[in-house]
Every structure is written in structure tokens, then in C-alpha cells.
């Protein structure tokens, strides 16, 4: 598959039309991989008719099914949103439309983004295109599979604890979680509001940069979005000078040895380009998972209190008002979401809030302080993206703790609101594996420039179907 700019060059030269590209993308949808909950072929064809000139002119984009497109069902992979058709679009959707992008469909996820494998979906698990017996990662697994199998050039996901980056690692793609506030969350269904950020999954740093230019920037409808200027994120031709990258020792513990050596290969390639490395320490790393669990579960229990079937979604006809709501929620949510709502309710209860939620909030500040200290010495951090390649479907579904294991490497960036990008480091057997760069607030361009440098020096050869 080509880059966005290469496709657009072909459009200009008349070698292929946007319709040709859309048709070939739609043909590549493999239903057995279950990447899409809703394919929006008609919407895409209509979109082509009115596609305006812009940075995404004629480019097929897949959207995670927790981001609203007006008139298309948003399910969040949950039965509780049965029949819900949003009457408005998310800000990111409006911006993509204005830039000429078209939508191939809404992609599968773990219900409300709660999972690391896209198995916990009311619509069934998505499968890894490199090996269908393995998970594609999650929770934005559908968005990763959609791009990996070639049904979309680029996709949007959401990242609360690693949900864009971990599937990018398992599917050989570039996944960016921008700085908290860089991209408007208006129209993204909330899971953990202080952690959620819309992210991008693409095949290369330049494409991801183009999409970031389109969707980033202040939105009056999201008071946490930033007014900071939107940079030219796709111009990655001039690398930054005198870059120093930190290697946090705690991030290299408890990981597969082949993952370790893959990341070291990336380090070597960057050293050849004149980038220097320094070993650093982030001692609170071991507390990232429990801290993330407490905060995200607490926020989820509050955010998901709105689902009662009265204004939208699953209506359960109970004997009385309370019964109606409780029934809808019991029938509507899958077990993992119930678990998180219940634990979230517990950590916010008067008897437990000081011991759990308030303490986790303080630890979050410690984690942030450690990142800030380290960033006084280095520009960004290089780490593995995941401890192992994709794991077998079914291996962790019933274990509420084990499913969180990959979050140890990714959720720190969410707790601190800093940007992080995952990109391919190579293959382990037939499965791809990624490396991760974690940067300072609003340093997306620097991170993408380094990914670009890696792409030039260690090109990833694992793309499927010769793409």
C-alpha cells in the first residue's frame, strides 16, 4: 500500500481514481477477521461525490466505533447502545470530512474501550491478520486490523491506557496517542475522561502526521482541547538535531528477550544517525497498572452511569423505574464492563475513596513528576511497546488482571497526558512487534520525525499482501 501523498499523486495524474481506491479497499475487507461492526459503503460512495479538496482528499479512513458519525450507529461494541444512531458527528469526523476523507466503516473494539485484545466485544472478537488464532490487540483492534488488511489507508482509535499503541504493535503499524488536549474529544464516547485521547493508526509516520494536522487543534466544544498551534506534523524531512533518547530501565524488565533485541536494533539504527542514548530510571513504573486501574475504573463508573435505556439504547421494560434501569444495564453490559463499574463504584465510595482513588491520584502526580525530571535530561524515551507479540485468542479473557499486563508499558503516558507513538520494530516469527517513543507534552513532531528516521534506516518488511 502506498502513502497518502502517493495516492493523491496518482489521483492527480489520473492513474487511479478515488473510487478505484475505495473499491479496492472495500474488496480487501475479510469478514472472518471481524474488523468492522458497520461497513459504511454507501456513506463512503456519497462522500466521494462531495469530497472536497484537502489533505485527505479521496483517502478511505476507518473509525473506531466509539466515535460518532452522524446517522451511522455507534455501538461501542455494547448491547447497551442497541439501536443508537447519533444525531451529531464528532469534531474529528467533521474535520476529516472537510479535508476530503471518506469513511469505510465503524471498527470493532473491546466494549467501551475496556480491554487489550478486542475479544470483549458484543459483536465477537477481531482477529490478527498475521495469525488469526492471535488477538489483534485492543481496544482499537478493529481499527488496526482495518489498516493492516488494507481496507483503509488510515484509521482513528482511542487510547485510554494504550488502546491505539498496543494493537499497532501487534499488527505492524504506526499508532500515535497525542498529548492530552491535542485532539478534541467531542463526540468520542467517554471511558476515562482524564485519560482518553483520540489516536491515529497508519502505516507510516508521514500519514499519521497528515491525519494529526487534520484533527488536531482547539475545539470550542471540548474545554480540555488546547489552543496550542497545530504544527506541520507531516513535514518530517528535516530531522531534529542533537537528539538524546532515554532508555528507562524499568521498561525493559519482564519482557520477552526477542522483543528486547528488536528494540535494541532500533537503538543501533538511531545511533548510526547520530542520536545518543542514556539509561534513565522511572521507579514508579511498577505502580502504573494499579494506579491506572483505580483511576480509569473510577472514571468509567461515573461516565457509564448515563446508560439507562431511557433516552437511547437498550430499553428493558421493568416493573418500576429502578428495575427498568437495572435490567437494561445488566442485559446491556458484558462482564468486564460490569467488573470495572463495580470496582470503580467501590474506590469512589466514602469508605474507600481516600485509600484508593485519592491515593492513586497522588501517585499519578508522582509518575508525572518522574517523567518531567527525566525529560530535563533527554528528549524522549525509547521502550518496547508490548512485553510480547500478540497472544492467543482466549488466553486471557477470564483473567481480569493478566489482561492488563501490556498496560504497564503504555498507560504511564495516559496518566501523565504526554504523547507516545508505537511503530514496527520487526517480526518475531510471523508476528510483528513494535517499539515505543514517549515524549514531552506537544512533542508529537519530534516523535514522528524519529519514527521516520527509523523507517528510512530499518524499513519494515512485514506488511501483508505485498502492501
C-alpha cell of residue 142: 478493529
Stretch that binds another protein, among 96-104, 198-206, 267-275, 311-319 (CB under 8 A): 311-319
Stretch that binds another protein, among 34-42, 99-107, 321-329, 378-386 (CB under 8 A): 321-329
The least distance separating another protein from the CB of residue 341, rounded to whole angstroms, comes to 5
Residues in the chain: 467
Helices (H) and strands (E) in the chain, counts: 14, 11
The angle at the Cα of 63, spanning 69 to 235, to the nearest 5 degrees, equals 115
376 near another protein, judged by CB under 8 A: no
330 near another protein, judged by CB under 8 A: yes
Query: Which residue from 174, 153, 141 is spatially nearest to 26, judged by alpha carbons?
Result: 153
Q: Which of 158, 163, 169, 184 is catalytic?
A: 163
**Which residues contact residue 306 at a Cβ distance below 8 angstroms, ignoring those fewer than 6 apart?**
none
322 near another protein, judged by CB under 8 A: yes
Binds another protein by CB under 8 A, chosen from 42, 49, 53, 319: 319
323 near another protein, judged by CB under 8 A: yes
Binds another protein by CB under 8 A, chosen from 26, 359, 395, 427: 359
When the beta carbons of 299 and 455 are compared against another protein, the nearer one is: 299
For the segment 225-244, give every residue that binds another protein (CB under 8 A).
225-227
366 near another protein, judged by CB under 8 A: yes
Binds another protein by CB under 8 A, chosen from 365, 373, 429, 457: 365
The least distance separating another protein from the CB of residue 416, rounded to whole angstroms, comes to 7
C-alpha cell of residue 87: 444525531
60 near another protein, judged by CB under 8 A: no
Residue 168's φ and ψ, nearest 5 degrees, are: -60, -40
When the beta carbons of 169 and 184 are compared against another protein, the nearer one is: 184
254 near another protein, judged by CB under 8 A: no
The least distance separating another protein from the CB of residue 400, rounded to whole angstroms, comes to 5
92-104 burial code (b ≥16 CB/10 A, e <16): bbbbbbebbbbbb
Contact of 411 with 162, CB cutoff 8 Å: yes
Q: Which of 139, 143, 301, 416 is catalytic?
A: 139
Q: Between 189 and 228, how does the x/- string for binding to another protein read (CB under 8 A)? A: -----x-----------------------x-xx-xxxxx-
CB atoms within 10 A of CB 122: 18
Angle at which helices 4-13 and 18-27 pack, to 10 degrees? 130
Which residues are registered as beta bridge partners of 452? none
Binds another protein by CB under 8 A, chosen from 364, 396, 446, 452: 364
Annotation says 163 is catalytic: yes
The angle at the Cα of 233, spanning 91 to 189, to the nearest 5 degrees, equals 25
Angle at which helices 257-272 and 444-457 pack, to 10 degrees? 90
The least distance separating another protein from the CB of residue 342, rounded to whole angstroms, comes to 5
The least distance separating another protein from the CB of residue 234, rounded to whole angstroms, comes to 22
Query: Which residue from 436, 444, 376 is spatially nearest to 228, judged by alpha carbons?
Result: 444
# residues near another protein by CB under 8 A:
77
For the segment 111-170, give every residue that binds another protein (CB under 8 A).
none
The least distance separating another protein from the CB of residue 297, rounded to whole angstroms, comes to 8
When the beta carbons of 256 and 368 are compared against another protein, the nearer one is: 368
Annotation says 416 is catalytic: no
The least distance separating another protein from the CB of residue 181, rounded to whole angstroms, comes to 3
Contact of 135 with 119, CB cutoff 8 Å: yes
401 near another protein, judged by CB under 8 A: yes
Stretch that binds another protein, among 8-16, 18-26, 123-131, 356-364 (CB under 8 A): 356-364
For the segment 291-310, give every residue that binds another protein (CB under 8 A).
291, 293-294, 301, 305, 308-310
Which residue's C-alpha cell is 513504573?
Answer: 285
When the beta carbons of 70 and 267 are compared against another protein, the nearer one is: 70
The least distance separating another protein from the CB of residue 401, rounded to whole angstroms, comes to 5
The least distance separating another protein from the CB of residue 440, rounded to whole angstroms, comes to 9
Residue 237's φ and ψ, nearest 5 degrees, are: -75, -30
d(CA 90, CA 224): 15
d(CA 221, CA 235): 28
**Which residues contact residue 358 at a Cβ distance below 8 angstroms, ignoring those fewer than 6 apart?**
none
For the segment 255-284, give every residue that binds another protein (CB under 8 A).
284
C-alpha cell of residue 29: 475487507
d(CA 251, CA 385): 9
When the beta carbons of 106 and 127 are compared against another protein, the nearer one is: 106
Query: Which residue from 31, 11, 35 is spatially nearest to 21, judged by alpha carbons?
Result: 11
Q: Which of 64, 106, 134, 446 is catalytic?
A: 64
C-alpha cell of residue 247: 532508555
| CA quadruple 325, 326, 332, 335: dihedral sign | positive
For the segment 83-102, give every residue that binds another protein (CB under 8 A).
83-85, 87-88
287 near another protein, judged by CB under 8 A: yes
Active site residue ranges: 64, 139, 163
Amino acid at each position: 500500500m502506498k502513502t497518502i501523498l502517493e495516492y493523491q499523486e496518482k489521483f492527480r495524474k489520473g492513474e487511479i481514481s478515488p473510487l478505484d481506491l475505495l473499491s479496492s479497499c472495500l474488496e480487501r475487507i475479510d469478514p472472518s477477521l471481524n474488523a468492522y461492526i458497520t461497513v459504511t459503503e454507501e456513506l463512503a460512495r456519497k462522500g466521494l461525490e462531495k469530497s472536497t479538496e484537502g489533505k485527505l482528499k479521496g483517502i478511505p479512513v476507518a473509525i473506531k466505533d466509539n466515535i460518532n458519525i452522524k446517522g451511522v450507529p455507534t455501538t461501542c461494541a455494547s448491547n447497551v447502545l442497541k439501536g443508537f444512531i447519533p444525531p451529531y458527528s464528532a469534531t474529528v469526523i467533521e474535520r476529516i470530512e472537510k479535508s476530503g476523507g471518506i469513511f469505510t466503516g465503524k471498527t470493532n473494539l473491546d466494549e467501551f474501550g475496556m480491554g487489550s485484545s478486542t475479544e470483549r466485544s458484543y459483536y465477537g472478537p477481531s482477529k490478527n491478520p498475521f495469525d488469526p488464532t492471535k488477538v489483534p490487540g485492543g481496544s482499537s483492534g478493529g481499527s488496526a486490523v482495518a489498516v493492516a488488511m488494507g481496507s483503509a489507508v488510515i484509521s482513528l482509535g482511542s487510547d485510554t491506557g494504550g488502546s491505539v499503541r498496543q494493537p499497532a504493535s501487534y499488527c505492524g503499524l504506526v499508532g500515535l496517542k497525542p498529548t492530552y488536549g491535542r485532539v478534541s474529544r467531542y463526540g468520542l464516547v467517554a471511558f476515562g475522561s482524564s485519560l482518553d485521547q483520540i489516536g491515529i493508526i497508519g502505516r507510516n509516520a508521514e500519514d499519521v502526521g497528515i491525519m494529526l494536522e487534520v484533527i488536531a487543534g482547539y475545539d470550542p466544544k471540548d474545554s480540555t482541547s488546547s489552543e496550542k498551534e497545530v504544527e506541520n506534523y507531516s513535514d518530517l524531512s528535516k530531522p531534529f538535531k542533537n537528539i538524546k533518547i532515554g532508555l528507562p530501565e524499568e521498561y525493559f524488565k519482564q519482557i520477552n528477550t526477542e522483543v528486547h533485541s528488536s528494540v535494541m536494533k532500533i537503538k543501533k539504527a538511531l545511533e548510526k544517525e547520530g542520536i545518543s542514548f542514556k539509561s534513565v530510571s522511572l521507579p514508579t513504573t511498577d505502580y502504573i497498572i494499579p494506579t491506572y486501574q483505580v483511576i480509569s475504573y473510577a472514571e468509567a463508573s461515573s461516565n457509564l452511569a448515563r446508560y439507562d435505556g431511557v433516552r437511547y439504547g437498550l430499553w428493558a421494560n421493568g416493573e418500576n423505574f429502578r428495575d427498568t434501569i437495572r435490567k437494561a444495564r445488566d442485559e446491556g453490559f458484558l462482564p468486564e464492563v460490569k467488573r470495572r463499574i463495580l470496582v470503580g463504584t467501590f474506590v469512589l465510595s466514602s469508605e474507600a475513596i481516600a485509600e484508593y482513588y485519592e491515593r492513586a491520584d497522588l501517585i499519578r502526580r508522582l509518575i508525572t513528576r518522574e517523567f518531567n525530571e527525566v525529560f530535563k535530561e533527554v528528549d524522549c524515551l525509547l521502550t518496547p511497546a508490548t512485553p510480547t507479540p500478540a497472544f492467543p485468542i482466549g488466553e486471557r479473557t477470564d483473567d481480569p488482571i493478566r489482561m492488563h499486563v501490556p498496560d504497564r508499558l503504555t498507560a504511564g503516558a495516559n496518566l501523565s497526558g504526554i504523547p507516545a507513538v508505537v511503530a514496527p520494530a520487526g517480526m518475531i516469527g510471523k508476528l510483528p512487534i513494535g517499539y515505543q517513543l514517549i515524549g514531552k507534552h506537544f512533542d508529537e513532531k519530534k516523535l514522528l520525525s524519529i519514527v521516520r528516521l527509523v523507517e528510512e534506516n530499518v524499513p519494515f518488511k512485514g506488511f501483508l499482501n505485498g502492501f
